[in-house]
Structure 1
Amino acid sequence: MFATHVRHSVALIICITIALVSLFLALSFGAADTSIQDVFNSFIYLNDASFTSRIIFELRVPRTLLAFLAGAGLAIAGLILQTVTRNPLADPYLFGISSGASFGVVVLMAFVGISAGFMLSAAALLGSLLAMSLLILIATRQQGGQVESMLLAGVALSFLFSAFTSLLLYWSEPQAVAAILFWTLGSFARAQWATLWVPFLVITLCTCVMISFRRQLNAMLLGDESAITLGVKVHRFRLLMLILSSLITAVLVAMCGGIGFVGLMVPHIVRFFISQGTVAGLLITSLAGGTFMVWVDVLSRSLLRNQELPVGVITAAMGSAFFLSLLFFRKSKV
C-alpha cells in the first residue's frame, strides 16, 4: 500500500514538472520569432514593455493557459462519463453534450450576431443541458439497460444537433458561415486575460467535486447493483456527474469551439499506467490532458507557415489514428 502511494506521488510530481516545462516551452512557438531566452527574459524583467514581451504576455500566455485548461477540462469530463457509464469509449461528443453546446452557440451567433462574451457561455450551457435532459429522459424510459440506452441515445442526439447546426449554417449569411465554421473546428486564438478566469473556476470546482466523490465513482465501476449495495444513490449521483460534465463542456465549447477526442483519448491512455480511482490518478488525468492540448496548440501554429490549423482537426486525426491502432492491436492479440 505504501509503495503504491509513493509510486502515485512520484508519477504526480513528474506530470506536474512536465506540465510546467511544456507551458514554458510552448511560449516560444508562434508566428513571431522568439527564443526560449526571450521567454525567460520576459519573466525575469516583468516591467519590460518591449514588443517581444507584449507578444508573450498579451497573446501567448493566455492562449497557452486556455489550451491547458481546455485539455484538462475535457479529460476530466471524459473520465466522468467513462466512469458513470462504465464505458472507456465515452466522451462529451459521443453523448451529444458538445454537439448540443455547439448548437446553442451557433443559434446565438446566427440569429443574434454575438460572437464573444458571457452570452456564448450561457448559450452553450443551455444547449448542453438540453442535450443532457433529452439523454436522461430517453435513458430513464429504459430501466433495464440504462447505460446502453444512454450510449445509443447520445450518438443519436449528437447527429441530431449536428444536423440542426448544419441547417442553420445553410440559412446563414456567407460571412457568418465562415466565422461559425472556423469556430466549430476549435481554436484558442480568442483567449483573453479578462475571460480566462471562467474556465479556470469551473474546471477547478468540478475537479474538486469529482475528487470529493472519488469513492462513489469507484463504486460506480462495479455496476449499479453493487454501487447501490455500497450505499450510493446511483441515479442521483449519475445525474450530478452528467451535469458536471455538461458544465465543463459548455464553458469550453463557448470559449474554444468544438474539440473532439481529447476526453475520449487521454483518460484511456492514462488508465494504462495508473489507477484513476485515487486523487493522484484524477490529477494526473487532468495534467496529461492539459499538457497534450498545449502541444496540440503548438502544432496548430507551427505546421503551416503564416497559417493556423484548427485544433479540432488535429485532435480528430490523432484520436482516430490512436483508436484504430488500438482496435487493430487488440484484435491481433485475440
Structure 2
Amino acid sequence: MISLRPVFLPRQGIVYKAIRCRFNYLQNRACNRSVVTSTIDWKPIKTTHNPNEGPKNGSSTGKKVVLGLMFAMPVISFYLGTWQLRRLDWKTKLIASCETKLIYPPISLPKVFTVDMCEDWEYRKVKIKGHFVHEEELFVGPRVKHGEKGYLLFTPFIREDTGEKILVERGWIAEAKVSPDTRTLTHLSLPSGKDIELICIVRPPKKRGKFQWKQEDKESRLWQVSDIYDMAASVDCKPIHFQALYDMTNHASWMNNETESHEQNLLASIRHWVTGTKKIDIKSIADDDDSLAFTEWQFMKAGVPIGKTPTVDFRNSHLQYLVTWYGLSFLSTIFLIVALKKMWKGGVISQSQLKKEKLKHARKYT
C-alpha cells in the first residue's frame, strides 16, 4: 500500500518532482472515492399495464389450449401404442399362417376359383396345367437383380381343365432378353407345349396406389407397378395373381417336337449346364431327364425368367411403432406432472396473487 505522507527529499531534482506528482494524483483519487452516487432511478420504465386488470383473453385461451394438449398427448399416444400392440399380434399370426401354408405340398387349383378366394389361399402352393400365350406378354419394372437391369415378366396362361385365362408372373428377365427373338433355351424361356404344368403361389390382386405411376399409354405393355386389375383387363383375363416359383431344373418334358428339334434343345440345355466340356454325348442322356440344374447366371444369359423364392414378403414393423408411441406417452406424462407441480407450488402465479405480492413489497417502503 502506498502511503500519502510527504517524503522529505530535496526540492530540486527530477525524483522530487515525480514523487510530488504521484502524491497529488493519489490525493485527488482518494477525494473522489468519498462521492456517493444516488440510487434513485430518475428515468423509470414506463408501462401501460395496470395491476388491477385481469389477464388478457388471448393469453388465457392459449394457456388453456396448451394445457389441454398436454393432457391429451399421453392419452392419445397410449391409445396408439395399444393399437399397434393389437396390430403386432395380428401381423405375427398372419405371417405364421402364411409360412405354414408354404410348407404344405402343392395341390391342384380348383376349377371354380374366384378373386374373393385369394385372401384365404394366399401363399398356398397350387398346380396349374395348360399353355402360355406368349404373344400377350406384359412387363413390370424396371427391377434390378444382381446389378443388372430387368423386368418382371407376366404371361397369360390358359388352363387346360376350364379354358379360362389367368395371369402368371413367371419371374425376372434381363432387359436384353425382353424380345423373344433374343432368348435361347426356348423350351424354358418360351415353352409352347399344350400340357405345361406349373407350381405357383396364390397372391391377392393389388391395385395401384394413389401416389404410384399410372400407365397413360394404353398401347404399351410396360407398367411401373404391378397393377393386376389393369394388367388383367388389357389381356382380357381374370384378375388373379399367380407367382411361378423358383425352379432351375431342365423340364425336358416341355419340349415341343412339332416346332423344334428335340436334340437341338437338349444340346442347348447341356451347353448352358456344363462348362469346360469339349464333347457332349447327347444320346447318353435320357430324353425325359429333368435332373439337370442351371444357375441364375445361365438363366439370365439365356433369357429364362427366374421365378420367386417361396418366402413371405410381409413387413412387420409394428414393434418399433409400439415402442415409439408408448415412449412418447411416458415422456409426455412426465412433462405434464412437472408442469402441474410447478403450478401447485406457485411456479405459475396468477394475476391476483401477483398483485398481492406487489402491494406487500410496496408497503415496506411507505
If the TM-score is normalised by the length of the shorter chain, which range does it land in? under 0.3
TM-score, with normalisation over the residues of structure 2? Answer: 0.18
More strand by share: 2
Query: Which structure would you say has the larger RCO, counting Cα contacts within 8 Å and 6 or more residues apart?
Result: 1
> Which structure has the highest helix share of the two?
1
Name which one, 1 or 2, has greater alpha-carbon Rg: 2
Taking structure 1 as the reference length, what is the TM-score of the superposition? 0.20
